[in-house]
Structure 1
Amino acid sequence: MKSGQQKMDWARQYMPVLGSIRREFEEKRPLEGVTIGMALHVEAKTAVLVETLAAGGAEVYITGCNPLSTQDDVAEALNEVAGVHCYAKRACSNEEYYAAINRVLDARPSITIDDGMDLIFELHTRRQDLLPGIIGGCEETTTGIHRLRSMADEGALKFPVIAVNDTPMKRHFDNVHGTGESSLSAIMATTNCLLAGKYLVVAGYGYCGRGVARKARGLGARVIVTEVDTRRALEAHMEGFAVMPMEAASALGEIFITTTGNTSILTERHFPLLRDGAILSNAGHFNVEIDVEWLEKNAGDIERRDGIDTYVLDGHKIHVLAEGRLVNLATPKGMGHPIEVMDLSFALQALSAKYILENGKSLVAGVYDVPNAIDEEVAGRKLTSLGITIDALSEEQEHYMSAWDIGT
């Protein structure tokens, strides 16, 4: 058996929620005749989602959403699945990356599934002729949702998109536990360095940042949080983390993880302040949080090894992991989020794609939350797979929670 298929088989056994959806899709074929275009991280968990959509009757065209996150053996295995066409390639050039995006769009999809909004961006800029055929889309990540909401506010978004990232099942499990565990495990596997006792700086205390911070503290790191939001900064403080500006943290930190989704978090004003041997990594979607371009131009010497670029500035070394791209996927040993976490997120994607197909034509262009019923369904399916049962409200309790005329 080829390695890509082995990876998919391994992932499938830990994805019971998506497995239950696949069985229903195979029976009812709710996506029959639909063409779905996807730009996601092409690795084993994503492949199980793609198989599920194809089992539901869809013709699926997929490419990567990051030049370094594709696993080539999984891409090869996907091309052996009936109804699936995969164009992703690891370490592709920028030109190859967008050529693959456009090969997906050449299939004239009616539903898009994005992680970072690259398909939607291309549709709204260079492929506007395809817009009339789009029913709607789904977006997986925080950065993509920020951009989509900006488009919607400006009236530029031309079809409805489900904000899969913003639903509780995504934020509280994928963003917190998925990003937290996978980022730290990739850093440890790539560097073989100990976290315990080290000053570890987390930039941003959103759902991803708090996941990283909490997991790092559990491993014994001395965690510092940097923030621009007053409430999140206060929350980090109340949860026991040191909070300070990045310039102050730069002089202390030994390991840095950016999780903001914004640009210019670690820049030329911070680099001279860093300790010799500081390790910089990014867990945000795009490679804009660490100014690697400045380091490439200004370092006195550059040493490259597998997954680590070392820049020498005034005699001290700065180690950047995965070229400043997503550390949990772009490092050679990065496997992405844990399988069980992606089982939940991709179950949301599959059910949201079905929802868009059934309802997209009646929705005006804009960004929509995942319907609460879908979010609760995924949680319920997961509890069932774990053999966990919970209480239900009695009629008396339901009345009490909805009544206004019951006194003390």
Structure 2
Amino acid sequence: MIYDCVVVGAGAAGVTASHALAEAGVEHAVLERGVVGNTWATQRWDAFRLNTPGSMNVLLGAVGPHEYSSRDETVELLTRRAERLPVRTGTAVTAVRRVGDVLQVSTRDEELEARTLVIASGPKNVPLRPAAAVNLAPHLTSIDADDYRNPAALPDGGVMVVGGGQSGGQIAEDLVLGGRQVWWSTSRIGRYRAQYRGRALLDWHVDAGWWATPPEALPDPAAMRTATPLIASDGRDLGIPKLGRMGVNLVGRLAEVDGSRLAFAGDVNEFVAFGDQVAVTLEKVADDYIAAAGIEAPPPEPDDGRGPVDAPERPTLDLDRAGITTVIWCTGFGGDYAYLPEVGRDAYGFPVLDRSGAAADDPAIRFVGMPWQSTRASAILHGMPLDARRAVDGVTGMLVSA
């Protein structure tokens, strides 16, 4: 049997793509290496919640506009959405290769043939560490962000969180709220205010079309590689100053690892200033939209998340002397595309796509959930329905012309 389409991955992108394929009448199968929503189920900590409200996550189904789904709620909602879809769990794809007019999809137990393929396995499911991480003393507990579950699960002692992105900031907050002594090696990242002028700033940006910005509208394409600004779940602010005031020790960018001795660049307030600048820029997007649309909105609220912060330079830190027993690497994730050896990759290891979301080397291979695939929102739940429809349009177009 030759399937019209095979979908790889049954997370949010895969389930959304499968729904779109079913609505278009395309015979297909969805192959998932674990369970539905596997990355959410296995690579998120216990207190994790989405940092976008239900108003931006309609693909999950029954979620209130101001609700922030927890890890388990997200998995449950995705599982419910997948109930009548042709999903095969526990079926990891090991290889894909073109054989004439079909794509041969190999799993551990069988080989399937498909006319088209939709890759929805996600761009952030393989933890990345800096090269210097191998120099960390072996007696220290060293884990990645996807292995962290809660403060009590870690050995006694202080915790060093390395990485200033979403995972690093949220895990540092979870740890300090859990009563742990925390050090945070921060990085250059923006700050996204949660509430602004009477509502979620995220919602203002949706209405303003900011999330719908296509890559070609950016003044500098390098902006596509900029980390997502820090924001917490439940409509709360999160940033370097907030965490510093909660008691997190701020040490700046990690520069060197030598056993239990770590060196830092001492650039915390440089990062704070950058975050404040981004916060103002994001506020202006809302202000400009409110003014242009003639909306009577409340005046801006005071921003209590601004810097500077009290962060004395600490060029070196001896983890043993400081009582730090655990290092959590929150230094980014990559995608696992080893099963696609024939697809061209960019300098960051991501498949090269054309503007329609197809692999540049093979238009029969489509993607959903990739960063900046069609808009700023492509890699978050808010943007996946659009890219799923575009992928299915490409699939049906190829099937008709075949």
Q: TM-score, normalised by structure 1?
A: 0.30
- Name the one with the larger helix percent: 1
Q: TM-score, normalised by structure 2?
A: 0.31
- Name the one with the larger strand percent: 2
- The structure showing larger relative contact order (alpha-carbon pairs under 8 Å, at least 6 residues apart) is 2
